[in-house]
Chain A
Amino acid sequence: MMTSPSRPQTLAQKLIARAAGRSHVAVGEVVTCHVDLAMFHDSSGPRRLKPMLDELGAEIWDKNKVVLVLDHYVPAQDADAKQIVQIARDTAKQWQLPHVIDSEGICHVVLPERGHLKPGMFCVGGDSHSPTGGAFGCYMFGIGATEMLGVCVTGQIWVQVPRTLRMHWSGRLQHGVSAKDMMLHMVGRFGMNGGQYQAVEFAGPAVRALSMAERMTLSNMSAEMGAQAGLIAADETTLQHLRGIGVAPEHLAGAEQWFTDEEAECEQQDFDASTLSPQVAAPHSPANTRDVSEFADVVPNIAYIGACTGAKLEDLRAAASVLKGQRVAAGVQLMVAPASAREQAHATQEGVMQTLLDAGATVLPNSCGACAGYGATFPEGSTVISTTARNFKGRMGPASVNVYLASPFTVAASALRGRISDAREVLA
């Protein structure tokens, strides 16, 4: 018998087994799971789903389990974008969706911010950075619009039970080094498909020491490793955070069961956070990563702090700690697009926004902005240092734009000095 409940399982197996209504699932088998929550946005959502649902004469299986976020085409830059946004708003009304978050931030940040994600859930998102939900002990992954149609109609989706690639981080990050550096390092080491569409799990003392925002950065960029999900076991940090944002205790009951059993089979990789330097990914791949010191002769003309990956409150604080009382170098334009309105409001209260403004920042709307490349992008020939997740050729502007990916610390330090710089030197 392979269904003994006492058989050791990975976190991924436990989450999938629960959603499949089973006591145990085996790696490699294909199972059908019940979806606890489906998130889609203005680009992947109504404009694609509505015509297909209408064609089928079908309705959403459970409107309470659906969250619509308007973040990709807002604020609308032209008539086409305006129409896409209008379709999303009209459809939300017509479908009477109870959970709509309109122009208040990026889906992967506002979804957990509103308490939609709790440990143990099985979720899908109509966006590739949906693994971000893994930071909350959820099995969450990205799907396309047609597959989302399948979920909307049936409330179910198939998965092949993944192997678990366990990224074990010992030690402790130095001040000025962050989760983004850990992730760029891992993507550089394993490549953009190193995750092989399996489950990556982040573990070890250095991961447990991270805040929820930093954990979200790890899970978020699991997408750049080609993993299906990027999981972190729920712990006291998770629960404290969720209680803090008002999640009711009954929704957190049993959260402590969502971890990988000691004896479960994993492929473990070991890292030492103490010796990690800030990392930079050169154009045009997030896997093109090396230590920051190797880029000292790169002179950016734009420093961009934005996206679900790199513009949460903690990211803004990191940038402000580097820029405090100073102005960016001549010839560098600093742009800040806070990931959500709430995060921005907190940053304003704390004086973080003022610090960034005093340093010369231009503040942009709480949306995907230049990172998605759907609307306003960077001008021809720009050299950009950015807190975002992807630097593919032609993504954030014309093919002549060169984007270097780095942490908010590194982006701020580079803006300050006018060349790619190590924030540890500024913070020292």
Chain B
Amino acid sequence: MTSRAFDNARVWRLGADVDTDALAPGAYMKHGLEVIGWHCLEAVRSDFASGVREGDVIVAGANFGIGSSREQAAGVLRHLGLAAVIAPSYSGLYFRNAFNLGLLLLTCPEADKIEEGERMGVTFEGDTPLVIRANGQRLACAPIPEFLMDMVDAGGLLPLLKQRKPA
């Protein structure tokens, strides 16, 4: 379990209802994740794409990832090196896509307490993730079923299918 934990992650705060068009704008959907990454979130947070670094986290309001089934909206965050997204709720379709691509989503009812720029960590107690804030405050998140964590550990469904492929 410890391999899933991380600390000292820098927080990017976003509002509620971040949609898939903001994460992966349609005009760039014909390109790969690198190009989509340059434009990720440009409609809602123009400093994100140029400023994001490996190991950062997004902390957002409710309903993160509403809209399209385009999984590039989840893939682009892995491509940019995000360690996790933390929000009170997600679009169900986005939730499935994220785990299928190995992106960790934490459902945290108290995500709104986490502040922009803060350094935070995540630890696991069994299948229950806990956010550890810079001030030591611990915020409980919804448990994540083991079969979804397996995908995070493997880096997504494709590597998992490869591992499980009969030789």
State the A residues within 8 Å of B (CB). 30, 43-44, 52, 55-58, 73, 80-81, 84, 125-128, 130, 141-147, 149-150, 153, 158, 191-193, 196-197, 226, 228, 285, 372-374, 377, 390, 392-395, 399
- Inter-chain contacts of B101 with A (CB < 8 A): 144, 146
- A265–B110 Cα distance when bound, in Å, is 30
Q: How many residues in B have their beta carbons less than 8 Å from beta carbons of A?
A: 38
State the B residues within 8 Å of A (CB). 17, 19, 21-22, 25-27, 29-31, 43-44, 62-63, 66-71, 74, 89, 91-93, 95-97, 100-101, 145, 147, 156-158, 161-162, 165
B97 touches A144 (CB 8 A): yes
Closest to A130 in B: B69
Closest to A145 in B: B71
Q: List 19 A-B contacts (CB under 8 A).
A: A30-B145, A56-B158, A73-B30, A80-B31, A125-B69, A128-B68, A144-B69, A146-B100, A150-B161, A192-B63, A193-B89, A197-B91, A226-B63, A226-B91, A228-B92, A373-B26, A390-B21, A393-B21, A395-B21
Given contacts A147-B97, A373-B21, whether A193 and B91 have CB atoms under 8 Å apart is yes
A192 touches B97 (CB 8 A): no
Given contacts A144-B93, A374-B30, A394-B25, whether A150 and B100 have CB atoms under 8 Å apart is yes
B34 nearest CB across to chain A (Å): 14
- A153–B161 Cα distance when bound, in Å, is 9
- Inter-chain contacts of B66 with A (CB < 8 A): 192-193, 226
Closest to B26 in A: A373
- Inter-chain contacts of A392 with B (CB < 8 A): 19, 21-22, 67
B71 touches A146 (CB 8 A): yes
- A394–B26 Cα distance when bound, in Å, is 8
- Inter-chain contacts of B92 with A (CB < 8 A): 196-197, 226, 228
- Inter-chain contacts of A125 with B (CB < 8 A): 69
Closest to B43 in A: A394
A390 touches B67 (CB 8 A): yes
B67 touches A84 (CB 8 A): no
B16 nearest CB across to chain A (Å): 9
B17 nearest CB across to chain A (Å): 6
Contact of B93 among A56, A142, A373, A390 (CB under 8 A): A142
Contact of A56 among B30, B74, B145, B165 (CB under 8 A): B165
